[in-house]
A and B are shown apart, each in its own frame.
Chain A
Amino acid sequence: MTMENTRIIEKYLDGTLNDEERRIVEERAGHDPDFRELIRLHREVNESIRDNDLLVLRNLIQKVSAEYFSSPDTILSVQKEQRHHFYFRYVFRAAVLLIILAAAGIILKMTLFSVTSSGKLYRKYYTVYHADVVYRSAQAELSELDKAILNYDQGKYADALRLLSDITQSDQHNLLALFYRGMVCLETGNADCAVTSFREIPDNWNCPLSEHRSWYLALALLKSNDKTAAADILKKITTGNGYYHKEAKQILKKLKF
């Protein structure tokens, strides 16, 4: 920092440079950032020398602050608040820990110990089977089996069961009637009747409904609490890539023996 720079800058700040000198200073400040910065520094330093009030206030604040924090009232109040703060933090941490433990417990339960009773599994996975036959003609023109299926579809289970029982009594090999009788039994809460009906259908039934029969048989067995037999059927379902293989896998995971 040269004396000459100081002289020029101080005179510039005092406003005592002539026009030509001031123009030269401003031109230099315009393209020389260091010089521009130096002017600013000089200006601020002058302000700091001139501004005694800020310094006096700072010293006074420091004095008041020291007195305030050494006062017994403040110390007591701060200690009390620190205890409160500590207590708050302690409670907060304990609460967070409890939440984490609870969440971990739930996750563990859902993964490692996610076993459910067979009755619950049945309720969770059972859905009504909807007959995919479309009836276009009047009921009078339908066969007995068609009428039974229509009754089943319309929720007239007693009528459906009566017709289906008649059909299966007269024709023990009417597998479709056995299938729907099984479904009617399930809908009316008679799992044993459903198991009997489905079991009368051979495993190698060559029909699109065969897959549904296995699935509903497994569910009927679950409802009857015959978990071993249900699991055997479900395992067979999972080996294929059929309609129910995902659900079968899920049930097997959750099945409690």
Chain B
Amino acid sequence: MKYSDAELLSGLLTRDERILKAYYTLYFKSVRRLVLLNTGNEEDARDLFQEVLLVLFQKVRQAHFKLTSSLGTYLYSVSRYLWLKELGKRKWINNNPSDVEDFIDMDSDIGEISEYNERLFIYRSHFDKLSTACKKVLRLFMEGHSINEITHFMGYRSEQYTRNRRYLCKSMLINSIRGEFGHEINDNGKYKDN
């Protein structure tokens, strides 16, 4: 089955499983070759490709996103940008990477989106550790339900109690995140070692 770039982008937004498979069939090989040719291994290539798809998802969700090249070139360019960034983190600076495809220049927001995604997943892992009631209260608030609806839905005795539960659950969540494995949030909102 052959898909157009537009179909592939749209399928990513709607999280269409067939389309995701098509991404792997069409584009994984070149990303894999890029990583293997530039000091990475098989696992690095798989992790990078997942990261790239999630970054692409965030980009496509942005109202102003416009594809200025073929999707293959765009994906390869995002992969290349993120992989060189990863090599930099590992202190394996590569000023002259081996390329297997044409690429376009990437905006620096690609790296920021990737880091943002990473942070969101960490937050979610802490969120998942909260009690069922806490998760439910916080989710209902985030979904925009009124205090009255939440109080009623949760069977709490008063709206004030519901508010206090919310603040208590949120405090627990924030403390859990900040205390993760001896890490703290630095001034840039990124994790740093103590």
Q: Footprint of B on A, CB under 8 Å?
A: 1-3, 5-7, 10, 33-34, 37-38, 40-42, 44-51, 53-58, 60-65, 67-69, 77-78, 81, 85
Enumerate 22 A-B pairs (CB-CB under 8 Å) in ascending A order. A1-B178, A3-B168, A3-B171, A6-B167, A6-B170, A6-B174, A10-B167, A33-B187, A41-B174, A42-B170, A44-B119, A44-B123, A45-B170, A48-B121, A50-B143, A54-B58, A58-B50, A60-B15, A61-B53, A65-B46, A65-B49, A81-B32
Q: What is the distance, in angstroms, from A68's C-beta to the closest C-beta of chain B?
A: 4
Q: Are A48 and B127 in contact, CB atoms less than 8 angstroms apart?
A: yes
Q: What is the distance, in angstroms, from B112's C-beta to the closest C-beta of chain A?
A: 12
Interface residues of B in 138-185 (CB under 8 A from A): 138-139, 142-143, 163-164, 166-168, 170-171, 173-175, 177-178, 185
B20: interface (CB < 8 Å): yes
Give every chain B residue within 8 A of A41 (Cβ-Cβ): 174, 177-178, 185, 189
A5, A7, A40, A56 interface centre (most CB from chain B within 10 Å): A7
Q: Footprint of A on B, CB under 8 Å?
A: 12, 15, 17, 20-21, 24-25, 28-29, 32-33, 36, 42, 46, 49-50, 53-54, 57-58, 116-117, 119-121, 123-124, 127, 138-139, 142-143, 163-164, 166-168, 170-171, 173-175, 177-178, 185-187, 189
Pick the residue among B58, B142, B143, B167 that contacts A7 (CB under 8 A). B167
Q: Are A2 and B120 in contact, CB atoms less than 8 angstroms apart?
A: no
Total number of residue pairs linking A and B with CB closer than 8 Å = 109
Give every chain A residue within 8 A of B58 (Cβ-Cβ): 54
Q: What is the distance, in angstroms, from A37's C-beta to the closest C-beta of chain B?
A: 6
Q: Are A68 and B28 in contact, CB atoms less than 8 angstroms apart?
A: yes
Give every chain B residue within 8 A of A54 (Cβ-Cβ): 54, 57-58, 117, 120
Give every chain B residue within 8 A of A3 (Cβ-Cβ): 164, 167-168, 171
B24, B42, B119 interface centre (most CB from chain A within 10 Å): B24
Q: Are A45 and B177 in contact, CB atoms less than 8 angstroms apart?
A: yes
Question: Bound complex: CA of A61 vs CA of B54, how far in Å?
Answer: 9
Q: Are B29 and A55 in contact, CB atoms less than 8 angstroms apart?
A: no
Q: What is the distance, in angstroms, from A249's C-beta to the closest C-beta of chain B?
A: 43
Question: Bound complex: CA of A5 vs CA of B170, how far in Å?
Answer: 11
Question: Bound complex: CA of A41 vs CA of B189, how far in Å?
Answer: 7
Question: Bound complex: CA of A46 vs CA of B53, how far in Å?
Answer: 23
Query: Known: A2-B171, A41-B174, A46-B142. Contact between A53 and B15, CB under 8 A?
Result: yes
